[in-house]
Amino acid sequence: MGKSVKSFMMRNEEKIEFVLLLIVIFQIFLLINITFADSYLINQSNDLINNLNINTEQGSKVSDLLSDLVNSGINLLIGFLSIKQIGIVSAQSDVSWYCCPNTCDSIPSNYNELGMSCPNSVEPLPSSCDAVQECRKGCCFDSENGLCSTNSPRGSCIDSGGEWNEDESCSINECRKGCCILGGNAQFTTERSCEIVSDSLGYTKDFRQIWNEIECLTFAASQTQGACVLNVGNCRFITQRECLMSNGRFYGGYLCSHPDLNTNCIKQDHVGCAEGKNEIYWYDSCGNRENIYSSNKIASWNNGIVLPKENSCDTGSGNVNSQICGNCALPLSKCSATATGQVHIQDGNFICKDLGCKNAPANVGTQDRINGETWCLYDSSIGNAVSTGGSDFASDTVGSEHWIASCHEGEVEIDRCGEYRSSICQEQIIEEGAKSLTMASCVPNQATVCISYNPLQEEGDGEMVDNDENIQNCQDNTHCMIENVDTDDYFQFKMCVPRYPKGASLTNDIDDSLCSIANQKCTVYYRKKITGWECEENCDCETPEFAEKMNNLCVSIGDCGSYINYVGEGTDNVKIEGKKGKELDSEGEEKDKESKEKGDAPSIFSWTNYIKFATPVFGQHVEPQSIDEFLSLIGESPGVYDLDSSKIYNMLGTVSGALGAGWMLNAFIIKNFGVLINIGAVGVGILNSIGFAAIGVAATAMLAKWLGISGPAAIVMVVSGGVAGAGVAMILWSASGANFWNILGWVLAAIGVIIVAIIAIFGLGKTETRIVEFTCQPWQAPTFDSYTTAQNNCEKCNQDPLRPCTKYRCESLGATCRILNENEENPICESLQYESNPPVISPGQVLTQGYQFQNQEPKKVEITSTIGGCIQEFTSVFFTLETDEPAQCKYSFEIPLSTYQDMDNNYPFEQNMFTEKHSFEIWMPSLESAEVYNVSGSLVEQLGQMNMYVRCKDYWENFNIDEYIVKFCINSEPDRTVVNHGLTVTNPRNGATLRYGTNETDLKMWINEPAECKYDLTAGKDYEQMTNSMDCKIGFVDRELQGWPCTTELTNLTSGENKIYIRCKDKPWVETAEDVEKYGERNVNQQDYVYTLYVSQNELKIDSITFNTIPSGGTISSGSAPVSVNMEVKTSGGISNGKATCHWGVLQRGSRWLFYDTFSNVHRQLLTDKMGGTYNIYIECEDDAENEVNTEGRFALEIDSSPPKAVRLFQEENSLKMITDEEAKCYYSPSNCFFDFDDENVLSMTTAFSKEHIANWNQGQKYHIKCEDLWGNINQGCAITVSLI
Amino acid sequence: MKEKRGQITIFIIVGLIIIGAVILYIIFGGRIASKVDLGKEADARSFLEACTEDKLRETVNKISLQGGYINNPLNKTFKFNNEDFIDISYLCYTQNYYVPCVNQEPVLIQHLSEEIKNYISDDVKNCFDDLTLNLEKQNYDVAKQYGGFEVELESKKIIIDINGEITLTKTGETSKQESFNVVFGSRFYDLAVVVQEIVSQEARFCNFEYLGYMTLYPQWNIDKFRTSDSTIIYTVEHKDTGEKFRFAIRGCVMPPGFG
């Protein structure tokens, strides 16, 4: 270890602030590991998409619709995520992979649909690249040049003459880098490369086993140099080794001009810079470097003796622009030649150039920066802020991005952290008195991880209780924050949301944001009093406070809601609607009747309230994360923040360039701040959790669902299948094993539960509920009615030369703004050309089998069954309309007002987005049910012939004045069909296996029409004879996403198969003979719906854990670090002979990452970059029946990086015998210590690795002995030198 | 008047010389060797060096700015300010989201040698032929055998190792020369080493900390440009010589929003 580095270490035995660096490193880990986990989550989302088919008998058609909806969205995403490292995901999912053989890049099997292809029109192979031998990824070692390439395909490596190894990270001996001394300089490279380069440059190979780049470079700089007198009068100022090789006589610490050496070199002949040095030096007449320049020549010459830097002249501040002292000092200054007219030292045209950056751009104003300093620049306010009403929200504006600026040798460079804030800029500021230093780095935005910390509350004992673990996780993650919505006593919840929300694509046809997660319904409770109806509870949901808090939640999800872009222009993208609730009975239970009045919806909280957040705020920055997880990953104890063990330091130092700027600043920082902050900002992977990738599309599709039956406002109310339903549905799907959906499902369901609780609380008098519903929509860029205005807005993107315009920034400025010449260094944002034509609407497709478009006219179309009839009751019909240009559409069942703006905010599936395809669903109840539930209006008449009026507007706000009409009718025949169990959905799903030991479970079943249901353990019983009733919701507004819910608790489940038999009886409103006469008999299932559950017969077990084939608890030895360790876990039992999904982590309570290879009974993970130490690995496995098993594995890693030591030397008979402290091979040379073992005059003392080494005893001989241990550690110089005198 | 005639004659002669030069240039313009004028003594190495240098430097420059390829379909067409559009090869690439790029040229130096060799092979052979022509003009009897050549990249130099044999006979004396090594000073190899390091780190960590690298190795200037489609274009420049290598990578790309 170099002297200066040692001194750094010695001076920093206390805790050292280098948190930022470690966090940055940790991002690398996140990058590699989160990918797998996220891919898994996305894979699960595929199940969701498939499950969406369940809502219809004609699943395939609906599937097509959904496929269309998510085309280029979800499928692509699923495709992307399951590749390569996660072949296991592919194995489980339906997504299959093809491989481009020329690039070894996997592409989804439906690559044509996705517009993907292999470069150069090569036909892809029908297999994942992992399964193609030539495309397996690993390390490629170029033995000709000694260079290593990570993540390299086997085929191209071998074909090019490389040696391929399956360790993708290249933690193999051949790639181990050490210190290659090249004269007075050094390169951190492999031994083979050292050999090649040395040979090429005319040096003898001098490869030092210094495994740390910084130490290597420090070592090179600290080599003792001196005068090497070659022959009479000739002298060179070089190292001892170089001199020895040149057969010169070495005078360490002497200058060639020293008078005692009698050389021809005359002192202080001229001045200049020196290669690999920063100072200005004197040179003698032979061209040899002398001491650091000082105008005081006598002091500088120092009587011909080398004068150390620290004893050389110093005028302070790095001697910037000093004319008398050339002791330049990084990071402040560096030797530089001067041009005519510039200030220079007295004796030559050189100066210590100021490397700092004056008046560098700052977040607010400008600031002087030090060379090597990095800092963040933001386009607007970032992170949590407080809106006018006092509630928190995440304030990153739409179109804003995070930038990292750096000062490098006087130049300021600004780089974008990543697209759409996928990567954010974090910084750490060290301040002491007036001194301040900032170091920044771009890190993956963990926005999606924040969402995964939900729910923060769960139902327990009839009330919501905090989930402490999730809350803690959310609080611990500096990228997350808790959004509290506490509008009223019974409308309170909290959600973990991103502190720095990710941006969304603003022009994609398919929204992939999660805005709808913030959709909420507040149930307001009213009581009839003498004075009339009075609000009793949740009254604040009808006030502006509700609108503000809900909008803040919506904005915090990411580019949603009423908010602004980065220049302070905005749009409103929320809906708040008052809807009718239900009448309550004296027990507080809901009646089947709707309430008298709708909730009184407050006005939306406008985007104009946020304009001030477009301005960056002084002092705002992203805080670094905790580093405990990173410490554990490299075998260090959490909480240990010092470099005493060098473990962290060494780990970072093995990555070339990793520490760069931070290292350079160390001296400066220590000098000025007394701390070491090694924040050279090692690479930052941009990957982040993408778990929500699929949700956006799916949620948008699901939550935008509406049901259309006529009857003025009442029909719209019926449409509200609702948010709570979606939440429940998600839980349903999650039951099939997707943890992620479980999380999201609970987020939504938790809120639903709150609402239910409210209803249960009140049970007195004449009461009713009313609903205030909040809908959070994707943010839309502003539209303008003139080209000039639009163009002026777009051009704002082109006005900052330091921050080039990007697609995201451009498109946030206006709906017509488009980025041009993207393939140039300075893209330009311009507006689309103005046009005044409204969108032309035409029929798309009817996607539900059995239905069609009929009687098509220019502005009208009819939907009928294929035989020309009306739509069957309780049937969903999906269809699309198309526009000839991107447009936003609304619909109404009444003849709408004359303008688009005045229409109610009823949107198709695509919500408020501008698209060319617009998706709708019509769901029809039976006529009699509508009548029974007293949906107001002349329903029979209306349902007999309904019109849906559609209007669309384009980017220029042109809209069709004449509405486009979609006509349809409902079957007016009496309902004679039984509940269709072909459409029944259950949770747990029919045929599911429950975990070992389960003896009871809740069953929830959704059926296609309101009905009462029973079940029995015996098959074939009539409905009336069945003994167990299910609790079925039969109200008109009780319909959830999947249908009408029935619940029950199944008890006495036994290991193995459990069957129940279910039958239902529809038309629950038929109670009396009069009803029968009016509506006909109730329809009862004559066949059982057989519902089967299995209970696991075995526990899931972990049989073994090994690390590099060594059982857990063992020790792994290696000669160098970092080391890659193969972890293998075997499972057995459970529902499928051990087949399970396993995760691992390094903290008992910390992150868990999916194994690289899992979904079987053997689970493998390569643990990379391990330094010496003890490692605890926490393993959690779960099978499809939710059988879980957790355990802990442990291994110790011993690194032997020291060469053998001679511990004893003695004569034994006629031999010289040497004992070493470890097994080694030893050799000796009679001439010097600088020899290779295969040199001609080198003799071996050993035949094999041994601690004993023997050589012939030759009196008078000198033995230069050098040894190599099992790990290839060789003595630098000699292990020992012996003269037998 | 007589003086004027003399001047006119001179002008005509100069004009003819210029026209002749232009015609010669048109005929032999593509052949670098035509510019070479051998000295009295045949110095094969100097001749070959002079003959091949321009083409070699042009080739190296072209390859360097196109990501190590003369022609590669896997490229990013991009235009930097004050430059023309150029096809910059991806040395590390994936078209997928979320995953690190795949190293496309894991043995980069070998590839670069071959790329140079392929592009200059005709020119080197022409130079070899021109060498013998020149020697014949100097009244040598020349017997030649051309066996191709290799391009070797080493630190600070590029070597063209021509596998050929020339036997010269003049006034009864015969001499034979074989194996012609032509060495050019260049940082191409050293650039390639840095490039390979960058690609390797990008493929492993999704990032290369170029600021730190420039600090540790101040002889390099590294520029990292992120295009709108998440391609990163690196330009590595050796500060002293101004030699550049530019290449593209695409990996670890995250799509907008939660998708």
Domain that holds residue B9: 1-28
Tell me, yes or no, whether B115 and B9 share the same domain: no
When CB atoms are compared, the residue of A103, A106, A659 closest to B212 is: A659
Q: Which helix (H) or strand (E) holds B163?
A: strand B157-170
Q: Cβ neighbours of residue A687 under 8 Å, at least 6 residues apart?
A: A30, A31, A32, A34, A35, A444, B98, B206, B252, B254
Domain membership of residue B50 (yes or no) is yes
Distance CA A383, CA A620 (A): 8
Per-residue pLDDT, A513: 54
Query: Could A160 and B111 be called an inter-chain contact, meaning their C-beta atoms sit closer than 8 Å?
Result: yes
Task: Give the pLDDT mean for B63-90.
Answer: 95
Distance CA B160, CA A1035 (A): 88
Q: Which residue of A has its CA nearest to B192?
A: A147
Domain membership of residue B33 (yes or no) is no
Domain membership of residue B52 (yes or no) is yes
Per-residue pLDDT, A745: 43
Q: Give residue B176's pLDDT band: very low, low, confident or very high (50, 70, 90).
A: confident
Tell me, yes or no, whether B68 and B7 share the same domain: no
Dump pLDDT digits (tens) for A248-277. 999 999 999 999 999 999 999 999 999 878
In degrees, rounded to 5, the angle at the alpha carbon of residue A543 between the alpha carbons of residues A539 and A547 is 120
Q: How many CB atoms lie within 10 A of CB B35?
A: 12
When CB atoms are compared, the residue of B79, B102, B201 closest to A824 is: B79
Sheet containing A177-182: which strands, arranged edge to edge? A185-190, A177-182, A207-208
Best of B81, B92, B98 to mutate (most A CBs within 10 Å, chain A):
B98
- Cα B61 to Cα A657, B29, B187, B237, B241, distances in angstroms: 26, 20, 11, 12, 12
Of the candidate ranges A669-673, A729-733, A872-876, the one whose mean pLDDT is the lowest = A729-733
Tell me, yes or no, whether B24 and B77 share the same domain: no
Of A200 and A669, more confident? A200
What φ, ψ does residue A483 adopt, rounded to 5°? -95, 115
Tell me, yes or no, whether B126 and B81 share the same domain: yes
Domain membership of residue B122 (yes or no) is yes
Distance CA A35, CA A691 (A): 9
Q: Give residue A540's pLDDT band: very low, low, confident or very high (50, 70, 90).
A: very high
Query: Could A103 and B74 be called an inter-chain contact, meaning their C-beta atoms sit closer than 8 Å?
Result: yes
Domain membership of residue B71 (yes or no) is yes
Distance CA A1085, CA A1082 (A): 10
What φ, ψ does residue A1011 adopt, rounded to 5°? -165, 165
Tell me, yes or no, whether B240 and B199 share the same domain: yes
In Å, how far from its chain's centre is CA A526? 45
Q: Which helix (H) or strand (E) holds A752?
A: helix A739-761
Shortest CA distance to A534 belongs to which of A603, A436, A600, A448?
Answer: A600
Tell me, yes or no, whether B19 and B142 share the same domain: no
Token duo for residue A374: 């990095």
> Mean pLDDT over all residues of chain A?
79
Shortest CA distance to A543 belongs to which of A600, A598, A499?
Answer: A600
Q: What is the largest CA-CA distance in chain B?
A: 91
Domain membership of residue B183 (yes or no) is yes
Q: ipTM value, please give it.
A: 0.84
Whether chain A has a CB inside 8 Å of the CB on B220: the answer is no
Q: How many CB atoms lie within 10 A of CB A345?
A: 23
Distance CA A872, CA A892 (A): 21
Tell me, yes or no, whether B167 and B195 share the same domain: yes
- Cα A562 to Cα A506, A517, A608, A914, distances in angstroms: 15, 15, 8, 17
Q: By the 8 A CB rule, do A681 and A441 touch?
A: yes
Whether chain A has a CB inside 8 Å of the CB on B159: the answer is no
When CB atoms are compared, the residue of A28, A119, A162 closest to B107 is: A162
- Reduce the DSSP state of residue A423 to 3 states and report it: strand
Token duo for residue A966: 């979609």
Highest mean pLDDT of the ranges A742-751, A903-912, A1063-1072: A1063-1072
Distance CA A522, CA A752 (A): 9
Shortest CA distance to A590 belongs to which of A761, A753, A773?
Answer: A761
DSSP H stretches of helix in A191-330: 191-201, 213-222, 240-245, 297-301
Per-residue pLDDT, A634: 64
Q: Kindly state the DSSP code that residue A54 receives in the 8-state scheme.
A: G
> Mean pLDDT over all residues of chain B?
85
Tell me, yes or no, whether B10 and B56 share the same domain: no
Tell me, yes or no, whether B3 and B51 share the same domain: no
Per-residue pLDDT, A656: 53
**DSSP letters for A242-276:** HHHHTT-EEEETB-TT-GGG--SPPSS-EEEE-TT
Q: Which residue of B has its CA nearest to A276?
A: B218
Of the candidate ranges A32-46, A827-841, B109-123, the one whose mean pLDDT is the lowest = A32-46
In degrees, rounded to 5, the angle at the alpha carbon of residue A1022 between the alpha carbons of residues A1021 and A1024 is 120
Distance CA A13, CA A6 (A): 11
Q: By the 8 A CB rule, do A144 and A161 touch?
A: yes
Q: Which helix (H) or strand (E) holds B61?
A: helix B44-65
Query: Could A80 and B101 be called an inter-chain contact, meaning their C-beta atoms sit closer than 8 Å?
Result: no
Tell me, yes or no, whether B8 and B81 share the same domain: no
- d(CA A43, nearest CA chain B) in Å: 13
Tell me, yes or no, whether B23 and B77 share the same domain: no
Shortest CA distance to A957 belongs to which of A777, A791, A780, A786?
Answer: A786
Q: By the 8 A CB rule, do B183 and B150 touch?
A: no
In the numeric block, the tokens 């190792």 are attached to: B161
Token duo for residue A419: 């697209």
- d(CA B256, nearest CA chain A) in Å: 5
Query: Could A77 and B255 be called an inter-chain contact, meaning their C-beta atoms sit closer than 8 Å?
Result: yes
- Number of residues written out for chain B: 259
> Could you report how far apart the first and last alpha carbons of chain A are, in Å?
34
Q: Cβ neighbours of residue B122 under 8 Å, at least 6 residues apart?
A: none
Dump pLDDT digits (tens) for B187-241. 999 999 999 999 998 888 787 878 878 877 889 999 999 998 889 999 999 999 9
Query: Could A823 and B108 be called an inter-chain contact, meaning their C-beta atoms sit closer than 8 Å?
Result: no
Q: Kindly state the DSSP code that residue A803 receives in the 8-state scheme.
A: S
Q: Which chain B residues are within 8 Å of A508, Cβ to Cβ?
A: 256
Domain membership of residue B34 (yes or no) is no
Q: By the 8 A CB rule, do A684 and A404 touch?
A: no
Query: Could B259 and A807 be called an inter-chain contact, meaning their C-beta atoms sit closer than 8 Å?
Result: no
Q: Cβ neighbours of residue A901 under 8 Å, at least 6 residues apart?
A: none
**Total of domains in chain B:** 2
Tell me, yes or no, whether B174 and B77 share the same domain: yes
Shortest CA distance to A1124 belongs to which of A179, A165, A210?
Answer: A165
Domain membership of residue B257 (yes or no) is no
Query: Could B259 and A697 be called an inter-chain contact, meaning their C-beta atoms sit closer than 8 Å?
Result: yes
Query: Could B259 and A196 be called an inter-chain contact, meaning their C-beta atoms sit closer than 8 Å?
Result: no
**DSSP letters for A7-22:** HHHHTT-S----HHHH
Best of B76, B107, B188 to mutate (most A CBs within 10 Å, chain A):
B107
Percent of chain A with pLDDT over 90: 45
Dump pLDDT digits (tens) for A1218-1271. 999 999 999 999 888 878 888 888 899 987 899 999 999 988 888 999 999 888
Q: Is A417 exposed, middle or buried (0-12, 13-18, 19+ CB in 10 A)?
A: buried
Whether chain A has a CB inside 8 Å of the CB on B80: the answer is yes
